[in-house]
Amino acid sequence: MNEQSDGSPRKTALIVKFGQIGDVIMAIPAADSLHRQGFEIDWLCGRAVLPLLACYSWIHPIPADDRAIFHGSAISRARAVTALWAAIGLKRYDLCATLYYDRRYRLLTLPVRAGRKRMLSMRVREATLLPGRHHTDEFVRILLEREDGCQMDSAPPVRPDRLPLSPLKPKTAPRRIAIVPGAASNLLHRQVLGLEPESLRRWPIESYRALAKRLVERGWEVVLLGGPDEAWVRPHFLETTVTDCIGQLSLPEVVSVCDSCDAVISNDTGPLHLAGLSEVPLVGIFGPTDPAMRIPRRPLSVGIWGGQGFACRPCYDGANFAPCQFNGCMHQVTPEIVLRELDRLLNAKAQGIPSPWRITFPE
């Protein structure tokens, strides 16, 4: 048994959070806080986020076949759950935290012996992700069982301590800007559950194309980021010289590529949170979702919230979007607005001016 510096046994915690990149990243600071209190951290995760969690030396990822568990036949589901039980059922934990509301997730940790078992709950305030609050701070509050009192400072993202090198060549242009023109879906929904992308929170591809053109006209390099399912965006940039990394990077490599850029521009999606693990300027574009709950709260990070004056904003309830044929909130954010905020961040960094995270609105 591992011991702490004072000779006492180390406490152990099991975190259950699968494949939503943003939610996983926003839960890591809570796990880090537990680790700093002397906990060993095991993390039950899906295979999609496994490479990222493996970049934290203090996290022991336990991969599960989430595709079989959530989308497989009865036989494959039973086999996957049985294999999961075999992986986690023999160890005793001081804390088992299942970061979901759906009570069916309790089945996954049924054989786990734990001094305390915690799960999200809509009935108990102490276990509810309160609306309007950043999920990172809410995960910290819930996992550490902090009182719901005045708290001035938000928990910043926790950077991985062992990242791979960026696969990009050294830049030759004055600036290198990464954009994420295609991604807008929940990784668990897309890869595991087979659901359609949540396109309402995607900034229009025409706006990304116009932005890329403006950046290239400045003599800057533009890097396209996105997963294999975002290959559809490539034809939109055939007339613009870009560095295409779509579908070519692992999650840790996305962070490393962001490190090698001067800034990142993305709507509310997984790569936005991956970019939040870097230290470069970050412009997030929001509409249906509230940036106060999701923008990485670190320096040189700004969320532009489109839809100013819209009665329907925000329309995301944590699980679904309202029926909408035209996401006018995202169209309200123009390339000129994004360029303005990008230049403000770049100038602040160049001049060493403090630039805490903030939210701005189209004027």
Q: How many CA atoms lie within 13 A of 28 on its CB side?
A: 29
Residue 160 and residue 52 in contact, taking contact as beta carbons nearer than 8 Å:
yes
User: What is the overall mean pLDDT for the chain?
Assistant: 91
State the angle between helix axes of 335-351 and 205-217 in degrees (0 to 180), rounded to the nearest 10.
Answer: 50
pLDDT over 80 (residue 172): yes
Mean pLDDT of the region 117-126? 93
Within a 10 A sphere around the Cβ of 310, how many other Cβ atoms? 14
Mean pLDDT of the region 253-261? 98
Which among 40, 79, 78, 77 has a CA at the least distance from the CA of 62?
40
- 153: pLDDT confidence band, cut at 50, 70 and 90? confident
pLDDT over 60 (residue 192): no
pLDDT at 90: 82
pLDDT at 5: 54
Residues 60, 135 within the same domain: yes
- 198: pLDDT confidence band, cut at 50, 70 and 90? low
Residues 239, 304 within the same domain: yes
Identify whether 164 is part of a domain.
no
Residues 126, 247 within the same domain: no
pLDDT over 70 (residue 9): no
- 186: pLDDT confidence band, cut at 50, 70 and 90? very low
Per-residue pLDDT of 303-339, as tens digits, reads 999 999 889 898 887 777 888 888 899 999 999 999 9
Residues 311, 249 within the same domain: yes
pLDDT over 90 (residue 101): yes
Per-residue pLDDT of 27-65, as tens digits, reads 999 999 999 999 999 999 999 999 999 999 999 999 999
Residues 23, 98 within the same domain: yes
Percent of residues, the chain, with pLDDT higher than 70: 93
Identify whether 27 is part of a domain.
yes
Residues 290, 207 within the same domain: yes
pLDDT over 50 (residue 190): no
Residues 216, 267 within the same domain: yes
- Provide the CA 214 distance to its chain's centre, in angstroms: 28
Q: Which carries the bigger pLDDT value, residue 138 or residue 193?
A: 138
Lowest mean pLDDT among 130-144, 157-171, 314-328: 314-328
Out of 96, 128, 143, pick the residue that ends a domain: 143
Residues 133, 239 within the same domain: no
Lowest mean pLDDT among 10-14, 148-152, 294-298: 148-152
Residue 37 and residue 30 in contact, taking contact as beta carbons nearer than 8 Å:
no
**Number of domains making up the chain:** 2
- Residue 237 phi, psi (nearest 5): -120, 20
Residues 214, 300 within the same domain: yes
Residues 338, 196 within the same domain: yes
Residues 132, 201 within the same domain: no
- 273: pLDDT confidence band, cut at 50, 70 and 90? very high
Token pair belonging to 346:
């770049």
Identify whether 155 is part of a domain.
no
Identify whether 352 is part of a domain.
yes
Mean pLDDT of the region 259-278? 96
Name residues whose C-beta falls within 8 Å of residue 337's C-beta, 6 or more positions apart in sequence: 304, 362, 363
Identify whether 171 is part of a domain.
no
Range of the domain at 45: 11-143
Within a 10 A sphere around the Cβ of 86, how many other Cβ atoms? 10
Pairing of strands 113-119, 92-98: parallel
Identify whether 151 is part of a domain.
no
Residues 194, 121 within the same domain: no
Residue 81 and residue 105 in contact, taking contact as beta carbons nearer than 8 Å:
no
The domain that holds 131 is classified in CATH as: 3.40.50.2000
Out of 143, 166, 186, pick the residue that ends a domain: 143
Identify whether 267 is part of a domain.
yes
pLDDT over 60 (residue 189): no
pLDDT at 3: 55
Mean pLDDT of the region 99-112? 92
Identify whether 160 is part of a domain.
no
Per-residue pLDDT of 223-236, as tens digits, reads 999 999 899 999 99
Out of 143, 165, 194, pick the residue that ends a domain: 143
pLDDT over 90 (residue 2): no
